[in-house]
A and B are shown apart, each in its own frame.
Chain A
């Protein structure tokens, strides 16, 4: 009998303090399930996330990185997520241009009341990244086999 080892991806989720982190909390209080693969990093605002944080997470072994923040217009600091949105758009497009799988990065706006959305998003994201398998490309970008 052959036992197939199931691939468990490491997912890093940057969540802004005011909406998405609270959303994650709510999904916990409501006992909604989402996989333990998701490691949440709390940030003051989605705008705090320098695109380099995302690269760094990948380089340190993440297989997928997701950024969650307040819905556009609802940022606690009024405009933070608008700036974050531009940065992430350009970063995602660049990663795609370099040949990194597009499904490994995601941005999702989750409010403090959207506990269910948080859990659903994470379930979906973990499933997607599991399908993709281990992140190799970003680590190997400069190592030719």
Chain B
């Protein structure tokens, strides 16, 4: 696939159809890719990559790219098109300045899962169908790909693109995802257990703001978590309130807009399962107000800007299961 995508990028640049290309290139380590803006066919040839570690959702960059002159091409995986469509719905992206190329995705890998298996000194990883050939400084190893899939990919909601200008490869299908299973497990715990679980997770947060910076729903020009007085924007917390409740506040800001792209959990250096918070909101919205997934349908009204006179009472949420 990398070859096809590179050729497409080069073709688009050469023909003058686009001026820039958004894609991925290797970072410090091969599994640590970084989003990159390619300006010439030569650059694409040299450094463009697409493989199991091209996890970054490029749609958020389109907000800034759309403000520039000229057209930018972007490669979007199925889940990324949810974010793209949601951003368009929120009028954050200049549509006519974007050339969106849908690309297939076989699921992305989580290097941490390999490390947890005790595999160290990884040099390269080769994908061979359902298996991965991992070569390390201690020799070669074969592992099943499904065991190393990132959580969001193991529970992928759809391999079908929401929208694109052109598509490379085959279109996938909407999947029967088990993404709410983990939420249900938590719901079945007692209140004390849940509190202990979250305290354990959230106390590890170092407030690096990476989850906010990467989130395609977090595109506010001025974010409540930026402290203009600190002199080092977006680092020093604005208040103790914000510090204590960061995760709940951010989750509430993106409720009904979160596309469950899983980027927040992917980038968290502390491994906090942030997607569980946002996914709980999605599950609740489905249960309380009817199925709704942000990014899926541009014409649907968002649940929090809508109401029905028949809506349940807030106290009713505690009645279930009692």
Residues of chain A whose beta carbon lies under 8 Å from any beta carbon of chain B: 51-52, 55-56, 59-60, 72-73, 79, 82-83, 85-102, 105-107, 137-144
Contact = CB atoms under 8 A, between A and B. Distances in A.
B142 to A, nearest CB: 39
Contacts of A90: 252, 255, 281, 284-285, 288, 304
Contacts of B211: none
Contact of A82 (B198, B241, B309, B314): B309
Contacts of B193: 99
Contacts of B198: 98-99, 141
Contacts of B194: 97-99
27 contacts: A52-B245, A55-B248, A55-B249, A56-B241, A79-B307, A82-B308, A83-B304, A85-B313, A86-B288, A86-B311, A87-B304, A88-B314, A89-B314, A93-B280, A97-B186, A97-B280, A98-B248, A99-B191, A99-B198, A99-B199, A102-B191, A102-B318, A137-B195, A141-B195, A142-B199, A143-B203, A144-B199
B226 to A, nearest CB: 16
A89 B249 CA distance: 15
Interface residues of B, number: 48
B177 interface: no
Given A55-B249, A94-B280, A141-B199, A86 B289 contact: yes
A51 B241 CA distance: 13
Nearest to B191: A99
Going nearest first, the 9 A-B pairs with the smallest beta carbon separation are: A99-B195, A82-B307, A99-B194, A144-B203, A88-B314, A93-B317, A107-B314, A89-B314, A102-B318
B192 interface: yes
B314 A94 contact: no
A63 B83 CA distance: 38
Given A94-B277, A94-B284, A141-B198, 17 more contacts: A83-B304, A86-B307, A87-B304, A89-B314, A90-B255, A90-B281, A92-B314, A94-B281, A97-B187, A97-B277, A98-B195, A99-B194, A99-B195, A102-B318, A105-B314, A142-B244, A143-B203
B250 to A, nearest CB: 11
B202 interface: yes
Contacts of A98: 194-195, 198, 248, 277
Contacts of A142: 199, 202-203, 205, 243-244, 246
Nearest to B312: A89
A101 B308 CA distance: 28
Given A98-B198, A142-B205, A59 B244 contact: yes
A110 to B, nearest CB: 14
Nearest to B197: A99
B218 to A, nearest CB: 16
Contacts of A99: 191-199
Secondary structure call for the B interface = helix
A130 to B, nearest CB: 19
B303 interface: yes
Nearest to B245: A55
B55 to A, nearest CB: 27
A59 B240 CA distance: 9
Contacts of B289: 86
Interface in B172-221: 186-187, 191-200, 202-203, 205
Contacts of A51: 252
A92 B311 contact: no
Contact of A101 (B191, B196, B284, B315): B191
B251 interface: yes
B318 A92 contact: yes
Contacts of A141: 195, 198-199, 202, 244-245
Contacts of A91: 252, 314
Interface string B211-240: 000000000000000000000000000001
